[in-house]
């Protein structure tokens, strides 16, 4: 019996599409922090992408009310009508993106699933998709799951991680079918300027590409930065799927609520993938989404103001640590400093920072090769903790120097 069980295990080693991807680096850091906490070791957790704020009360109440009201059954696979209407209204009002609530919006369990749906709905095996490097850890893995090929578009720290027309053109080939663009960018916090947006638009139009615009951080912007949506451009509206969600703007990561929106023709193939996979998002979770979009927005402004304080405190404290270079991000809630530690891979640096400095951060290389020599710190700790963060970093770097003699 034991032998048979062993044989079965050796036969089922996972499909090629899963074996080709690595586990999520950010999920792994968060789990490491949980494991340490279970052993009684507390660290300053700046690893994952989860805000430390509680979901605003009026949003929680809306879900409880809906649940008590019996919203516990399957609903329309696209999403409940009031939420699709609220999303379409929000996109028009805030982003200048016009979509039909009837057939241009799908409510998904998180923006993550919205991106996977877009890829499953439109990629054929071997299709290439351009992705910023560095960029969020899951794009290339999800492209692989959809049997496509992720092609990185390098962006460089010495150029402020700007997306350059030449880099886009070099990465494009006759097999390129789509481009995923995210801004404010996770992990760099960079916000695309007009020239970068024009470069994406020109390439997408010339090469007939699908644009998947991930706008999850659009509301977390610092003074001087302005977010523009690709789907608002007349030359891109027909080819753009806009992805967004509630996780970051309303501190709702655990609720798993997001959406994809665009022209009905582009949304149609995604609907089949939704129906045969998750069917629909829990209706009481969707009721919370209606409250988030239609209710008071002061909570968003308050979180934004706090992120700004944290950003500036991080800049002040960590900017003074020798061998660390920190730039001010235009948006999102991450800091992405560069470390002068030649020969030490970012992954090793992250380990050292956790073990010696007591701070969890994510190695820049989790986000692509251009993230080497960088670590990503999530602004999920209050400003007064930033000197302790700087001290932890200094301690880790000090241990490296003394180990080298």
User: How many other CB atoms sit within 10 Å of the CB of residue 27?
Assistant: 14
Question: Smallest gap, in angstroms, from Cβ of residue 137 to ligand PLP?
Answer: 8
Q: Which residue is nearest to ligand PLP (CB)?
A: 110
- List the beta strands (DSSP E) in 127-281: 128-133, 149-154, 176-182, 210-214, 240-245, 258-261
104 part of the interface to ligand PLP, by CB under 6 A: no
241 part of the interface to ligand PLP, by CB under 6 A: no
250 part of the interface to ligand PLP, by CB under 6 A: no
216 part of the interface to ligand PLP, by CB under 6 A: yes
User: How many other CB atoms sit within 10 Å of the CB of residue 402?
Assistant: 8
Question: Smallest gap, in angstroms, from Cβ of residue 216 to ligand PLP?
Answer: 4
Count of helices and strands (H, E) across the chain: 14, 14
Question: How many residues in the shown chain lie near ligand PLP by CB under 6 A?
Answer: 13
Residue 285 vs 317, nearer CB to ligand PLP: 285
Q: What is the DSSP code string of 280-317?
A: S--HHHHHHHHHHHHS--HHHHHHHHHHHHHHHHHHHH
Place of tokens 């034991």: 2
Q: Please say whether the beta carbons of 324 and 337 come within 8 A.
A: yes
What is the Cα–Cα distance from 252 to 272, expressed in whole angstroms? 26
Question: Among 79, 189, 258, 371, which residue sits at the site for ligand PLP (rule: CB under 6 A)?
Answer: 258
What is the Cα–Cα distance from 174 to 179, expressed in whole angstroms? 13
79 part of the interface to ligand PLP, by CB under 6 A: no
49 part of the interface to ligand PLP, by CB under 6 A: yes
Question: Among 127, 128, 196, 214, which residue sits at the site for ligand PLP (rule: CB under 6 A)?
Answer: 214
Question: Among 55, 66, 176, 182, which residue sits at the site for ligand PLP (rule: CB under 6 A)?
Answer: 182
Question: Among 44, 97, 101, 136, which residue sits at the site for ligand PLP (rule: CB under 6 A)?
Answer: 136
47 part of the interface to ligand PLP, by CB under 6 A: no
Backbone dihedral region of 189: left (phi > 0), alpha (psi from -120 to 50 degrees) or beta? left
Token readout for 233 is: 């451009």
Here's the x/- map for ligand PLP, 302-331, by CB under 6 A: it reads as: ------------------------------
112 part of the interface to ligand PLP, by CB under 6 A: yes
Q: Please say whether the beta carbons of 119 and 148 come within 8 A.
A: yes
242 part of the interface to ligand PLP, by CB under 6 A: no
29 part of the interface to ligand PLP, by CB under 6 A: no
Binding site for ligand PLP (CB under 6 A): 49, 110-112, 136, 182, 186, 214, 216, 245, 247, 253, 258
């Amino acid at each position: 019996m034991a032998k048979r069980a062993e044989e079965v295990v050796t036969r089922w080693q996972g499909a090629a599409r899963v074996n080709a991807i690595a586990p999520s680096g950010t999920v792994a850091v968060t789990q490491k922090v949980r494991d340490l906490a279970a052993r009684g070791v507390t660290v300053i957790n700046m690893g994952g992408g989860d805000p430390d704020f509680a979901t605003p009360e009026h949003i929680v109440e809306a879900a409880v009310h809906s649940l008590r009201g019996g919203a516990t059954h399957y609903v329309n696979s696209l999403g409940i009508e009031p939420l699709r209407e609220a999303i379409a209204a929000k996109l028009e009002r805030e982003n200048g993106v016009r979509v039909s609530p009837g057939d241009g919006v799908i409510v998904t369990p998180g923006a993550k699933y919205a991106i996977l749906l877009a890829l499953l709905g439109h990629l054929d095996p071997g299709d290439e998709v351009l992705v910023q490097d560095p960029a969020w850890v899951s794009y290339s893995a999800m492209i692989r799951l959809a049997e496509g090929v992720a092609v990185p578009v390098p962006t460089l720290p010495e150029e402020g991680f700007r997306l350059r027309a030449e880099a886009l053109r070099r990465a494009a080939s006759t097999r390129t079918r789509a481009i995923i663009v995210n801004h404010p960018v996770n992990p760099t916090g960079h916000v695309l300027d007009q020239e970068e947006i024009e470069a994406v638009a020109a390439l997408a139009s010339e090469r007939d590409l699908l644009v998947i615009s991930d706008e999850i951080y659009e509301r977390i912007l610092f003074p001087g930065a302005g977010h523009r949506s690709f789907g608002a451009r007349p030359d891109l509206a027909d080819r753009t799927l806009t992805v967004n969600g509630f996780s970051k703007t309303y501190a709702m990561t655990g609720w798993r609520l997001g959406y994809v929106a665009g022209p009905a023709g582009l949304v149609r193939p995604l609907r089949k993938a939704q129906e045969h996979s998750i069917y629909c998002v829990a209706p009481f979770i969707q009721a919370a989404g209606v409250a988030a979009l239609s209710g008071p927005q002061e909570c968003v402004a308050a979180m934004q103001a706090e992120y700004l304080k944290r950003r500036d405190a991080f800049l002040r404290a960590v900017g003074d640590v020798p061998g660390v270079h920190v730039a001010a991000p235009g948006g999102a809630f991450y800091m992405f400093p560069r470390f002068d530690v030649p020969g030490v891979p970012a992954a090793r640096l992250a380990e050292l920072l956790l073990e010696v400095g007591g701070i969890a951060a994510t190695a820049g290389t989790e986000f692509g090769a251009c993230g080497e020599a960088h670590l990503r710190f999530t602004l999920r700790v209050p400003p007064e903790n930033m000197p302790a963060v700087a001290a932890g970093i200094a301690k880790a770097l000090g241990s490296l120097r003394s180990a080298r003699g």
